Amino acid sequence: MDDRETPAEARAEVAFPEPVCRRAMRSAILSSLCGVYAPVLIQDSAILILYATALSASRFVSLTTTSMQSIALALLYIPLAHWMHGRSKRRLLVVGTGVSGVAMLAVAGAGWTGASAQALMLLGLVAFSMMQSVFTAGWFPLLRGFVPIEER
């Protein structure tokens, strides 16, 4: 027996009228396109390794910078998804995105702090990685309210 929803059932779970859903889906696509640069820069780029090396970080710290996001996601995704259930996902995502932005600014500004540059860089990376886990855990449940299942 097939347990997929029919189009009428899929449309029934969407909480908003179709024009609002279309605008919300366009905004979600735009935000995804604009929000991809920082996580990719941190996880898949040697720029951060070079930056950590320039701040006189050890080899271990330099190489760990690119894996923090994956480690945080692996450890926090399921607990955060459970914790976010029943809470305001929009509010949590907005706060998480704001903290992520401040954390990225801390990483970028770490070079100007002198002796505490490595600590500020690591603190910023840990905060950014944790907030990316919040974002990932809340993003798809947030979409459920305005993206029909056949389009997800």
Q: What is residue 2's DSSP assignment? A: -
Contact 132, 39 (CB under 8 A): yes
Cβ within 8 Å of residue 139, ≥6 positions away: 93
pLDDT of residue 37: 67
Two tokens, residue 37 = 């640069």
Cβ within 8 Å of residue 147, ≥6 positions away: 14, 21, 24, 25, 28
- Where do we find the tokens 């951060």? 48
pLDDT of residue 48: 84
The pLDDT tens digits of the residues spanning 9-21 come to 444 566 667 777 7
Amino acid at position 18, single letter: E
Among 40, 65, 66, smallest CA distance to 117 is for 65
For residues 56 and 34, what is the distance between their CA atoms, to the nearest angstrom? Answer: 31
- Model confidence, pTM: 0.74
When pLDDT is cut at 50, 70 and 90, the band that residue 2 belongs to is very low
Amino acid at position 61, single letter: V
For residues 14 and 141, what is the distance between their CA atoms, to the nearest angstrom? Answer: 12
